[in-house]
Structure 1
Amino acid sequence: MQLRELMELNRTRRKFDQSQPIDVGTLEALVELTRFMPSGMNKQPLKYIVTTEPDQCDAIFPLLGWAGYLPDWKGPDKGEQPTGYIIMMLDTAIADSPGCDHGIACQSIMLGAVEQGLGGCIIATVNRKKLARIFDLDDRFEILMVLALGVPAQEVVIEPLPSDGDIKYWSGENGRHHVPKRSLDELLIGRFPAK
């Protein structure tokens, strides 16, 4: 796949085919992609936990916030929940801040997931204290993000931003998830030479 195609397929997925488990080795391979990414001052302060263990997945699931623009939706139903998680942490013994490393790492992992036929959701709304207790984490590890992964079971459609500028995503007919995106002309505030 070309990069443009990977980017277009790399949509946030919130429903998965739970009957198709992920192998933990697949998650390890996705984390390994982050070894090759740029890192501020080359500190490489990110650490990870990967799990596909069903009991751990069941324990992680209720600790996550799923869709801020869908306040009545508490996340995917049983049978549509993620079959694997990558917990991304900052090792504060290495750095005080992740800088932008965690953003680069999330995108690297998600692009790798798409290439493998998987989908995922990058989640920052996390009950960090309870999650840290599940894995008995040392205080030096600060949970940054949880990446929920699985075989996608929902179609995501990119829509042009409506004339009122509303950026909120929504679920429509047949379970399709609609995501408005700004046009290239809205992103560019300068073009030199001008067309």
Structure 2
Amino acid sequence: MIYDLIRSNRTYRRFEQHVPVDRGTLEELVDLARLSSSGGNLQALKYILSCGEERNGLIFPRLRWAGYLKDWHGPEEGERPAAYIIMLGDKEISSHYSWDHGIACQSILLGACEKGLGGCMFGAVDKKGLAEDLRIPDRYEILVVIALGKPKERVVLEEIGDSGDVKYWRDADGVHHVPKRKLQDLLLDF
């Protein structure tokens, strides 16, 4: 069960933009993150939710899409995310979020997948510009932006070839291919 959920939880970069994701759904996903583990149980993560055109329009241009796809600068109108969750660290609670946001992101993305949604987690964000656009106070550090929506693309996993190249790519039909290392290549025995 968890294996199937993790295997189907892929990074999606094109969405059915016209299919809305409502605030209640975003709150349910953040609640999964809230219930997840937190270093020292400090719970220093905070969230900004966006599912409206105006705020989404401020967030979208601040994201850097698909570094390996050099000739693609992000989804076109009609393929953009319907919603975003911006994950912040509250520096007045703690300055050590080290693994908290990774755990929280995984919880959010697995919850989204279970609901038939897809997501893309962004660390490549114009954080200064986004903080200015959304008037985020200095006490908060932008950690990650999660784009969400109904997927509009197919993503397939495949084994890394003999070249060892880990770069994802799209074929002529727009199918997104993600090379993964073999399990045996990850296991060490000293």
Paired position in structure 2 for 1:34: 33
SS class of match (1:21): coil
Task: Verify the 8 A CA contact 2:34 2:104 in the aligned structure 1.
Answer: no
Matches within 5 A, 1:137-152: 137-152=136-151
SS class of match (1:175): coil
Question: What letter corresponds to residue 46 of structure 2 in structure 1?
Answer: K
Asked if 1:182 is matched to 2:184, the reply is no
> What is the distance in 2 between the residues matched to 1:71 and 1:104?
29
Matches within 5 A, 1:155-166: 155-166=154-165
Q: CA deviation at 1:16?
A: 0.1
Question: What letter corresponds to residue 17 of structure 1 in structure 2?
Answer: E
Q: CA deviation at 1:24?
A: 1.1
SS class of match (1:173): coil
Superposition RMSD in Å: 1.0
Q: CA deviation at 1:53?
A: 0.8
> What is the distance in 2 between the residues matched to 1:73 and 1:121?
16
TM-score by length of 2: 0.98
Asked if 1:3 is matched to 2:2, the reply is yes
Structure 1 consecutive aligned stretches of length 4 or more whose deviation exceeds 4 Å: none
Paired position in structure 2 for 1:54: 53
> What is the distance in 1 between the residues matched to 2:105 and 2:150?
17
Q: CA deviation at 1:128?
A: 0.8
> What is the distance in 2 between the residues matched to 1:54 and 1:166?
38
SS class of match (1:90): strand
Paired position in structure 2 for 1:106: 105
Paired position in structure 1 for 2:89: 90
Gaps of 5+ in 1: none
Q: CA deviation at 1:134?
A: 2.2
Paired position in structure 2 for 1:118: 117
Provide, for residues 54-89 of structure 1, a one-character-per-residue CA deviation record: whole Å limited to 9, x for no partner: 111111111000111112211001000000000000
Asked if 1:77 is matched to 2:91, the reply is no
Paired position in structure 2 for 1:130: 129
Task: Verify the 8 A CA contact 2:5 2:114 in the aligned structure 1.
Answer: yes
Q: CA deviation at 1:173?
A: 2.4
> What is the distance in 2 between the residues matched to 1:65 and 1:123?
8
Question: What letter corresponds to residue 159 of structure 1 in structure 2?
Answer: E
| Count of residues paired in the alignment | 190
> What is the distance in 1 between the residues matched to 2:176 and 2:37?
32
Task: Verify the 8 A CA contact 2:17 2:150 in the aligned structure 1.
Answer: yes
Q: CA deviation at 1:190?
A: 2.5
TM-score by length of 1: 0.95
Q: CA deviation at 1:119?
A: 0.2
> What is the distance in 2 between the residues matched to 1:176 and 1:88?
29
